[in-house]
């Protein structure tokens, strides 16, 4: 006669089998929830640490269907992103710091031009990270493939000028500091404001120094890679 569970003897075979199946199921589910380790990084060009961690945002309408900075037509339902300094066609793993969820994106646009933000995701990429409703999330970027280009040019983008006269006065002050200057109408979707490109820098260091100097003076200035 088998002993009852209260006697301290082994549990009946049926109960043992149910416990084993439950344990196995928990292990399987844990494996599904856990984010896998990032694939081996294949970086052909160094990327500064400051370009790889910060706040991610996303953009959709009214940019859907417009040209991106590399000439493609932006599809907000795709899995792409805008970054200020990574070369076009770089492939990057974007990982949320609060829950470990991630998505792999291709860089095909420039931005975001908001202080503290490091990457602007397509709507499709943001959806995979579960950040559509909140709009932003702290992330780290893991470069998977960074194309190397022999000729690299940098520009400093400065925005937020209330009218063209202010933009022209600013470019006049910058003529001795920047190889080329250009005034463009529009800033963050507002046609009433203007932005200025200080273009033609071959040295990232010089462009970075000017960016930091302008930021210290209160300008909305951003370092941007061309190409």
Q: Residue 171's pLDDT is what?
A: 96
Tell me the domains of the chain and their CATH numbers.
42-146 (2.40.40.10), 153-226 (3.30.70.120)
Q: Residue 10's pLDDT is what?
A: 43
- pTM of the predicted model, to two decimals? 0.79
What stretches of the chain show up as alpha helix (H) in DSSP? 13-33, 123-128, 164-174, 204-216
Rounded to whole angstroms, the Cα distance separating 52 from 92 reads 10
Low-confidence ranges of the chain (pLDDT < 50): 1-13, 15-34, 40
Read off the pLDDT of residues 142-167 as tens digits, 9 standing for 90 and up: 999 999 877 789 999 999 999 999 99
**Distance separating the N- and C-terminal Cα atoms of the chain:** 81
Rounded to whole angstroms, the Cα distance separating 165 from 147 reads 39
3-class DSSP state for residue 196? strand
Q: Residue 205's pLDDT is what?
A: 94
Cβ contact 150:106 at 8 Å:
no
Q: Residue 149's pLDDT is what?
A: 75
């Amino acid at each position: 006669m088998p002993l009852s569970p209260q006697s301290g003897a082994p549990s009946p075979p049926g109960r043992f089998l149910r416990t084993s199946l439950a344990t196995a199921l928990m292990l399987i589910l844990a494996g599904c929830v856990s984010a896998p380790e990032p694939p081996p990084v294949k970086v052909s060009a160094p990327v500064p640490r400051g370009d790889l961690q910060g706040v991610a945002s996303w953009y959709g309408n009214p940019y859907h269907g417009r040209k991106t900075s590399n000439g493609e037509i932006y599809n907000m339902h795709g899995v792409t992103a805008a970054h200020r300094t990574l070369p076009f066609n770089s492939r990057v793993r974007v990982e949320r710091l609060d829950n470990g969820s991630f998505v792999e994106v291709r860089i095909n646009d420039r931005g975001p031009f908001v202080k503290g933000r490091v990457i602007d995701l397509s709507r499709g990429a943001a959806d995979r990270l579960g950040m559509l409703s909140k709009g932003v999330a702290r992330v780290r970027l893991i470069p998977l493939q960074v194309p190397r280009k022999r000729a690299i040019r940098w520009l400093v983008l400065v925005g937020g000028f209330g009218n063209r006269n202010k933009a022209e006065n600013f470019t006049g002050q910058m003529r001795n500091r920047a190889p080329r200057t250009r005034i463009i109408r529009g800033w963050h979707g507002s046609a009433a404001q203007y932005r200025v490109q200080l273009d033609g820098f071959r040295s990232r260091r010089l462009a970075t120094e000017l960016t930091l100097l302008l930021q210290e003076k209160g300008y909305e200035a951003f370092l941007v890679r061309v190409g």
